[in-house]
Amino acid sequence: MCELSNWNGRVYKISRNELMEFAKRSDSEYTGVYFLLGKDDSNSDTVYIGEAEKMLTRLKQHLKDTEYWNDCIVVISKDNLLNKAHVKYLENKFYLLAKDAERSIVVNSNIPTCSSISEYDEAMLQEFISNTKLLVNALGYKTFDTLEDSSMKRQNNQVLFYIKAACGADATGVVVSDGFAVLKGSSIAINTVPSMSANLLQLRTSLITKGIIDSEYRFLKDHIFTSPSLAAAVVMGRNANGRTEWKTIDNRTLKSIEEEDLG
């Protein structure tokens, strides 16, 4: 079990088999929100977002849900200041953040209801959300991070990289803090080569299925890949070394720029 805290909040990362250790804590039955994290059959990240008036009691109920979670992140206030209306509000906002970020498949069957709260409470909870995102990120999960969170918005002097190749591949990308982003409007190759690895084919297919890439093989929004090579492979329809395939407007490779920076 891992614990992080700041401001007036506390975040725990708990695996399924650590639930009894969490039960020993005096704050285990505090009111809060929680995120159940796992993988689906295609190895894509999944998240379930929930709220609880008594956290441990609610998490015990989830032990029978074996299909969609391995780890849990619990978010509570240090002094148990959150009430039912607060956590219903937080559940809704975290659900919308996760859907917007598209880092994980949100497995909630329904959109959580957003409770009505005062203007003062809303300001307090927005700060709570911002701090929670930082702590969840520190635990290694990008569940709520949009491209803007990762790249801190594109600067005028930020280096752009391009791929223009066979079968309609015509893409623009940028290095971000946690990988490589292919930008909205980029086109991928219409066809793939027979030698393309199965996991890359599955990734490419899933992006089309999820509507991140449309029927005309264009990215409908910026999308972050964990590496430039994954991004290049999806764009080119074949296995690719992204550090040599992505090039600047003046034909410098990502590899050469990285080596210059290490200099």
Mean pLDDT confidence for 143-149:
75
Residues 230-245, mean pLDDT to the nearest whole number: 94
Res. 150: pLDDT tops 60: no
Given a contact cutoff of 8 angstroms between Cβ atoms, the answer to whether 181 and 145 are in contact is no
pLDDT exceeds 90 at position 258: no
Highest mean pLDDT out of 31-35, 197-201, 225-229: 31-35
pLDDT over 50 at 153, yes or no: no
Task: Tell whether the model's pLDDT for residue 257 goes beyond 80.
Answer: yes
Q: What is the pTM of this model?
A: 0.69
CB-based contact 213:164 (threshold 8 Å):
no
Which residue matches tokens 């927005």?
126
pLDDT at 5: 76
Cβ-contact 257, 249 below 8 angstroms? no
Predicted confidence at residue 109, as pLDDT, reads 92
3-class DSSP state of 233: helix
Over residues 144-156, mean pLDDT: 60
Give the residue from 176, 195, 187 showing the smallest Cα distance to 218: 187
Orientation of helix 228-236 relative to helix 198-209, angle to 10°: 80
Could you read off the pLDDT of 46-100 as tens digits, one per residue? Answer: 999 999 999 999 999 999 887 779 999 999 998 899 999 999 999 999 999 999 8
- Residue listed under structure tokens 């849990």: 72
CB-side neighbour CA atoms (13 Å) of 126: 7
Residues 63, 16 contacting (CB under 8 angstroms): yes
Q: What pLDDT is stored for residue 99 in this prediction?
A: 92
Task: List phi, psi (to 5°) of 71.
Answer: -125, 155
Q: Are the beta carbons of 85 and 116 closer than 8 angstroms?
A: yes
CA of 5: how far to CAs of 16, 90, 123, in Å?
A: 21, 18, 20
